[in-house]
Amino acid sequence: KDVLAHASVDVECFVQHLEASREPLLLEVDIRDGEKVLAKGQQRVPPSNDTTQPVSQTVHLDNLGAVKLWDLTHPSLYSVHVRLLRGTNVIDEDRRTVGFREAQFTDHGFELNGKVVKLRGLDRHQTFPFVGQAMPARAQRRDAEILRKNLRCNIVRTSHYPQSRHFLDACDEMGLLVLEEIPGWQHIGDDAWKALSVDNVRRMIRRDWNHPSIILWGVRINESKDDHDFYTKTNAVAHSLDPTRQTGGIRYFQESEFVEDVFTMNDFGFPLKPPNHPRYLNTEFVGHTYPTKTIDNVERLREHTLRHARIHNQLASNPQYAGGIGWCAFDYNTHGDFGSGDRICYHGVTDIFREPKPAAGFYKSQCDAAEEIVLEPAFHWARGDESIGFSRAVICSNCEHLKLYIDGKLEAEIDPDRTEFAHLPYPPFSVDLRELFHHWGDLRIEGYIQGKQVIAKNYSGKGVDAKFALVPDDRRLVADGADSTRVVFRVTDEFGAIKPFANDAIQLRLEGPAEIIGDNPFSLVGGTGAVWIRTKEEPGSVQLVAIHPQLGKQQVEFEIGPASPEVV
């Protein structure tokens, strides 16, 4: 289905009478495609005494015309505008963004608008270096962009709590599906605690029910034990508030009582357990069972990549697996008795600064070549960074054929490994290098589709840090005292490939109405790192200068524009 002809919509508005009204009020509602009004309607609101409880009013809008469906590649959005009038005076107004789509988990996987979509995604902790969760809209939206466009995921789980509305707005706009769940991890408290958790279900759904990207409500405390009465209530509350969406509850044991619509399961073993219910979604895997740092040797980086690939290969082997959400997208800060001893969990496919590890290349490589042609080695080019010498090279790509050159000489031609990864749409490539090292030099990898070269990447064999780059996510910010953007540091070879053992201290200097969020000087980790630039409440120009002790100085300029007036 591409469009809905002759569509209609019911807009439910909640009016709270903070003061008594002796005369009727009027609700005016319209729905728009951009600036074009598709339909409008009105609803009389009768006089009322003052009350703390909002009263529901439903306005029916008819004859919208042909409505475009929201999907992954064309996330069509509409806006609903509501005004509350007393006579001709507008006393309140609001707007919401909505989309039209049909999403359901079935006994043969997940369907979006009647088409089966194998879910491939990552869990997200909403935390950032230096500040925890205290990041404004721009940084939250950037995470959605990294997941959808850099990692080519089609789903994210907000583990383990509802996340920023700005992040969810970006998921709507970019076509990134969302499993959103209530706060909590393993612990279930007393009756008062449970009542608060049930209220969290209400608050989450009421806040976020208009987001078309959200396809599943998580109504169970992550990895908690069974509690029949408690979870029967959370599930019932979700269904009463939103009968259009299914529910799930993330658990860690298959014998768990199933009271939701979708059996959502954290399974860290391999091979995965077979589905034990018709609607089945894997919600965590790999993660803490194989923490991996950007500075680990090639053996660990390769195995980390292959573990994610093996899981997704098994998920693709059975349509009853709706798909999988890996643990996790980004490394994150943690408490003292968890993680790697430095209060960081290295469970992500990117580091804490959102810079990719090789496993990120696997997720990216599973997109169609029409979206992006991907060629991502699961290694850095070095002959001796393995126990007995570099032996097996794994390359993640959606190409059909690869050619490898060492020092300008063609040494190998390889096809995807469909023996180990028979079910993946784009299996990784693998080649035994031991017989290829007749000489050493630069590596060149060429990717081919239908016999035509479509991509090539080069990697230096010199072992020298050659370039220093300063890469901002944005150059135009707003002077609201909170707006922030990431600035990434990278030390690379002459071809732009990261040098993972560069750990130099970068000296920073900032001029203008902004401040640095992060260390100064900043010591690189894995050849890279980042700080954020946060504006003050003053427009103007900002210059950031970064000085590498050997590779010199780089600088970037930002324009800080005035903030919009606050609306009260």
User: Domain 375-459 is classified in which CATH homologous superfamily?
Assistant: Immunoglobulins (2.60.40.10)
- Averaged pLDDT, 42-48: 90
**What pLDDT does 559 receive?**
98
**Cβ–Cβ under 8 Å, residues 216 and 111:** no
**What pLDDT does 2 receive?**
45
**Cβ–Cβ under 8 Å, residues 159 and 130:** no
Q: Is the model's pLDDT at 9 over the cut of 70?
A: yes
* Entry pTM: 0.96
Q: Which of 284, 376, 411, 446 is catalytic?
A: 284
**What pLDDT does 437 receive?**
78
Q: Which of 59-63, 421-425, 452-456 has the least mean pLDDT?
A: 59-63
pLDDT band at 3 (very low <50, low <70, confident <90, very high): low
Among candidates 375, 404, 401, 407, which has minimal Cα distance to 392? 404
Q: Is the model's pLDDT at 4 over the cut of 70?
A: no
93 is catalytic: no
**Cβ–Cβ under 8 Å, residues 434 and 391:** yes
- Tens of pLDDT along 322-365? 999 999 999 999 988 888 899 999 999 999 999 999 999 999 99
Higher confidence at residue 131 or residue 338?
131
Among candidates 3, 84, 8, which has minimal Cα distance to 43? 84
User: Domain 467-562 is classified in which CATH homologous superfamily?
Assistant: Immunoglobulins (2.60.40.10)
Q: Which of 223, 299, 372, 420 is catalytic?
A: 223
- Tens of pLDDT along 457-485? 999 999 999 999 999 999 999 999 999 99
- Tens of pLDDT along 482-501? 999 999 999 999 999 999 99
- Percent of the residues in the chain that have a pLDDT greater than 90, as a whole number: 89
For residue 33, with 0-12 CB atoms within 10 Å meaning exposed, 13-18 middle and 19 or more buried, which class applies? middle
H or E segment and range at residue 141: helix 137-145
Q: Identify the residue whose tokens are 């589905």.
A: 275
| Residues 387-409 as b or e (16 or more Cβ within 10 Å = b) | eeebebbbbbbbbbbbbbbbeee
- Tens of pLDDT along 514-549? 999 999 999 999 999 999 999 999 999 999 999 999
* Amino acid, single-letter form, for residue 243: P
Four-CA torsion 508, 510, 514, 519, nearest 10 degrees: 10
- Averaged pLDDT, 562-568: 82
297 alpha-carbon distance from chain centroid: 27
Same fold, 375-459 and 467-562: yes
pLDDT band at 1 (very low <50, low <70, confident <90, very high): very low
**Mean pLDDT for the chain overall:** 95
User: Using CA atoms, how far apart are residues 236 and 279, in angstroms rounded to an integer?
Assistant: 18
- Averaged pLDDT, 389-406: 95
284 is catalytic: yes
**Cβ–Cβ under 8 Å, residues 469 and 490:** yes
Among candidates 396, 356, 348, 392, which has minimal Cα distance to 372? 396
pLDDT band at 568 (very low <50, low <70, confident <90, very high): low
The phi, psi pair for 11, rounded to 5°, reads -105, 110
Q: Is domain 103-365 annotated with CATH 3.20.20.80? A: yes
**What pLDDT does 25 receive?**
92
- Tens of pLDDT along 59-108? 999 999 889 999 999 999 999 999 999 999 999 999 999 999 999 999 99
Domain spans of the chain, in order of start: 3-98, 103-365, 375-459, 467-562
Q: Is the model's pLDDT at 510 over the cut of 50?
A: yes
Q: Is the model's pLDDT at 5 over the cut of 80?
A: no
What is the fold, at CATH topology level, of the domain defined by 3-98?
Immunoglobulin-like (2.60.40)
- Tens of pLDDT along 214-262? 999 999 999 999 999 999 999 999 999 999 999 999 999 999 999 999 9
Q: 220: which 2 tokens?
A: 């169970």
Three-class SS of 195-243: HHHHHHHHHHHHHHCCCCCEEEEECCCECCCCCHHHHHHHHHHHHHHCC
**Cβ–Cβ under 8 Å, residues 468 and 548:** yes
Higher confidence at residue 565 or residue 268?
268
Give the C-alpha distances (Å, rounded to integers) separating 84 from 11, 13, 20, 96, 338.
Answer: 14, 10, 15, 15, 51
